[in-house]
Structures are given as structure tokens and as C-alpha cells.
Structure 1
Amino acid sequence: MNKTIILEDLHQKAYQATWDLQEELFQEIVDIKIQNRRENSILETPNYFLFVEHPHVYTLGKSGDFSNLLLNEKQLTEKGAEFFKINRGGDITYHGPGQIVGYPILDLENFFTDIHKYLRLLEEVIILTLADYGLKAERSPGETGVWFDVGTPFARKICAMGVKASRWVTMHGFALNVNVDLSYFDYIIPCGIKGKAVTTLRNELGVQHVDENEVKEKIQFYFEQLFEATFKIQS
């Protein structure tokens, strides 16, 4: 079981190019697993973790409802945003500058074979990261992601999650709102959930700007702890 995770920060990268890279890494792991089973071999499967910040883009999960996007093609262009229907779970979400997106591409057979546990640990990584800033984030029953003030009229989401898994290999992941412009969420029904607000770490702390590199370091730390993994930085 290989618990080393190759970590690469892509900085700002277009959605399509990043999705292509995810698919490439995902397929590399799957191909090794298929070869191992076909040839009864024990080749080690790699694990990857990509940090990225996307230009303005809306993505719709495979079970999502297109009507949750409130812009037409012309309006998308005017907003400088792209749109993709993709192969993750979940409904619609927004990615853009000031948001930390994490894509773990893991062979879960190196860790544990439980998708529910995987999602809960992803949430826990973010909950613990936010706790370092003195914030009490939590889960919302039946709604994947990380929230504040669940069960109140002030419930608001700070981190969206949507994953794909096949042969116990994962892709896609989470999007944590740090310094993002929340006005772009006005043009969708986030995650298909009506009447729920979204927020940012900057807003919750009441500051002008949050150091995103510091947030990434905290995410790395808690991910290593919870997954009993070791990151190997790839520059």
C-alpha cells in the first residue's frame, strides 16, 4: 500500500486543461490496476493531489439540473465565464479566482475502500483547517460539503465537494471559498440547493484578504494526518 501522494500546485490553470490532466493521471492509475489483475502482478499505484485556481467557470455534475445555471451562453461570455458538464457527482458549482480547489487522484486501495469515509474525511480536512482560524464549521445532513450555522436561517456553505470514483480511483474533489468574488454565485442555484447562501473565509474572518498559501499548508497538514499519508512535492 503506497501512502505517498505526489502534490502539485498548478496555480491558475484553465478548467479544461486541468480536467484533461486529471483524466490522464486517473487513467494511469486505473491501467496499472488492470495490469496487476490481468498479470497477477503487484506494481505500485501512485497517488496524486492537485491544487489549482480556475478562471471563472461553472461546472455541472452528471446528475445535475441544467436549469440551475441562470445564465445563457451570451451572458456567460459577458461574465468571462465558461461552462462544462462533467463526470463528477453533485449538481452545479462555480470556480474562480480566490478559491482553493483540490483534486485528490488517489487509489483508495492504498488507504481504505469506502467512498462514504473518503467524503467524510475530505470534509473533516476542511473543518479542521477552518478551526485553525477560530471558526466552527460543520456538515449538513444529506448535503455533501462544509457549512456554517447548519439548521438555522443563516446556514451558508463555504466548501463544495463532488467526486468521481471508479475501480477505487478518485478524481475531482473540493472547492474552498477563501477570497472569491461571491457575486458569481448569484447566477446559479449552488449545488441545486435553493435558499442556501454561500460564504468565504475572508468574509467569515472580516478581513480584506486571507493568505491562500497558508490555507493550503493547513489543508496539506490535515490531509496527511487523516489519510495517514505523506506528501511529496512536485514543482
Structure 2
Amino acid sequence: MTAPRAPFTAPDAPIRRSGEPIDVVKLGLQDYEQMWHRQADIAAQRANDEIHDQLLMLEHPSIYTAGKRTQPEDRPTNGLPVIDVDRGGRITWHGPGQLVCYPIIKLNDPVDVVDYVRRVEEALIQVVRQLGVTTAGRIDGRSGVWVPASDGRADRKIAALGIRITRGVSMHGLALNCNNTLEYYDHIVPCGIDDAGVTTLAAELGRDVTVDECIEPISVALIDALEGRLTVADHTFGTAPDPCKGLGKRKV
């Protein structure tokens, strides 16, 4: 998704409202639905200036979650349950071996959602490249971080984004595939995209890459991006249709 205008905030300036340090909170394995409600409580506290900005680092037990643009044909064919949530995007899977980060960040006013997404993507791209997937980048028209087609494999997503902004505070966030299984993606149309694949750091690098290994570099890169120390660059290697364009929102 190419930004239609310059960002509201200078690229080398913070996008968040506070100058206080961001708290990095490691939560381990957390039930998705319980964490969803906990996120809402934390976001409300942040909107009321009761706490600092937070990066919640965790994993979920295996679960499908459906964003507001999810279509009936996206849903799983294996009979597993789906939680309909209030983030953007379509359906995805979360599970062990996947690092999930929920940035609870009070953003500058006026809120610039495009700039926020681009900064989060930039942080992810830098970490994925530093870990060894040097070709990782963006596909114009699609959010997240992608690895370009190679060795007979199509373009494939290695990190997904889905966000919600309420009262100027970000919720939901990112999921980086570290060493998780990919079998659950075979039973859905991941993110509503049927012309590309899904991958993990471990699959791309040919070695085990744990969630714990990725927490610190992701935390550092996200903080640098939100503060403007890591500026957004053009890492686009392709163009593809937006899987959410023209679709109505499902009510949650």
C-alpha cells in the first residue's frame, strides 16, 4: 500500500505522543480471547495516561482469528473455532512458535495510521533481514513483510499486521513466524490471499529460530521506528491486489 501523501510526522521524529520510555512486557503463552480483553483494558489505561506505552510480547495457543474484512470463503475447513475480532484485515492463524507483539502506543494527534503501519513494517523488515532473510520487503497493495518468489515458490508472507486505533491508542499489532508449523494455514485463505504463500524464519534460514531469540531485536527495532531513529525506506519488490479493497466491514 503506497502512502498517498507525506506522513503527518517528520520521518525522523517520534510518532508517539509520550517521551517516556516504552515498557517491554514479556507475557509468554496467553489465551487469545483473554488477552484480547486484557489489551482493551491496557489501551484504556494508556488513553487515560495511567500507564506508559507498552510492547506486549507473547505467544498464543493455536487459534484462528478473523478481522473485520473476513469473507465466508476464508474460514477454516478443518472445523477448528474462529474468534471474530475488532482488528482490520481478514483471517489468520496464531500459535506456538509465532512471536506476537501488541504495541499499546498513544499516537501523535492527528493520528496517522498509514505512517504507523509503515513504521511497524520497517522494524520487522530490518529484523528479518538482520536474521538472514536479506530479500524480505514489501508488496505494494498488501500489508506485512514478504519474501519474494524463489526456487519455484511463490511470494510468501513471513510477518502479518492487523491493527485497531481507539482513542488515539494502537491495539493488536504484528505476528512474526519464527519456527511455528504452517499446517494450519492450509485450511484457510490466509489474510484473504490465495495467490501467495506463508513461510517462517526457520524455513527460510534452514535453522531453528525461536520466539525468545526474536523478542529483543523486535523490541529494539520497534522502539527505534516509533521514535524516528529507524526511518521508513522503500523495500517494495512487487505489486499485487489489496485483499481487503472493496469489502465491507463485518460488525464485531
Normalized against structure 2, the TM-score is what?
A: 0.77
Q: Among 57, 65, 78, which residue is 1:59 paired with?
A: 65
| Counterpart Cα distance in 1 of 2:53 and 2:172 | 13
* Residue correspondence of structure 1 range 98-177 to structure 2 within 5 A: 98-109=97-108, 113-135=111-133, 136-149=135-148, 154-177=154-177
Alignment root-mean-square deviation, CA: 2.1
Provide structure 2 residue ranges, at least 5 long, that are not aligned to the other structure.
1-17, 229-252
| Counterpart Cα distance in 1 of 2:52 and 2:203 | 37
Provide structure 1 residue ranges, at least 5 long, that are not aligned to the other structure.
33-42, 77-81, 230-235
8 Å CA contact 1:60, 1:85 repeated in 2:
yes
Aligned to 1:9: 26
Question: Which secondary structure does the structure 1 equivalent of 2:173 belong to?
Answer: strand
**Amino acid in the other structure paired with 1:60:** A
**Amino acid in the other structure paired with 2:124:** I
Aligned to 1:214: 213
| Counterpart Cα distance in 1 of 2:33 and 2:153 | 36
**Amino acid in the other structure paired with 1:22:** Q
Q: Deviations over 1:46-80 (max 9, x none)?
A: 211111110010000012213201326xx21xxxx
How far is the alpha carbon of 1:134 from its aligned partner? 2.4
8 Å CA contact 1:2, 1:44 repeated in 2:
no
8 Å CA contact 1:104, 1:171 repeated in 2:
yes
**Amino acid in the other structure paired with 1:125:** A
Aligned residues: 209
How far is the alpha carbon of 1:150 from its aligned partner? 6.2
Aligned to 2:194: 194
Q: Deviations over 1:152-208 (max 9, x none)?
A: 96200001100000222110001110001001100110000112100000000012x
Q: 1:44 to 1:84 in 2, by over 3 A?
A: closer
* Residue correspondence of structure 1 range 38-117 to structure 2 within 5 A: 46-71=52-77, 75-76=79-80, 82-109=81-108, 113-117=111-115
How far is the alpha carbon of 1:45 from its aligned partner? 5.9
Normalized against structure 1, the TM-score is what?
A: 0.83
Following superposition, which runs of at least 4 residues in structure 1 exceed 3 angstroms of deviation? 150-153
| Counterpart Cα distance in 2 of 1:70 and 1:54 | 18
Moved more, 82-91 or 149-158: 149-158
| Counterpart Cα distance in 2 of 1:159 and 1:5 | 22
8 Å CA contact 2:55, 2:219 repeated in 1:
no
**Amino acid in the other structure paired with 2:26:** D
8 Å CA contact 2:97, 2:210 repeated in 1:
no
Moved more, 8-17 or 219-228: 219-228
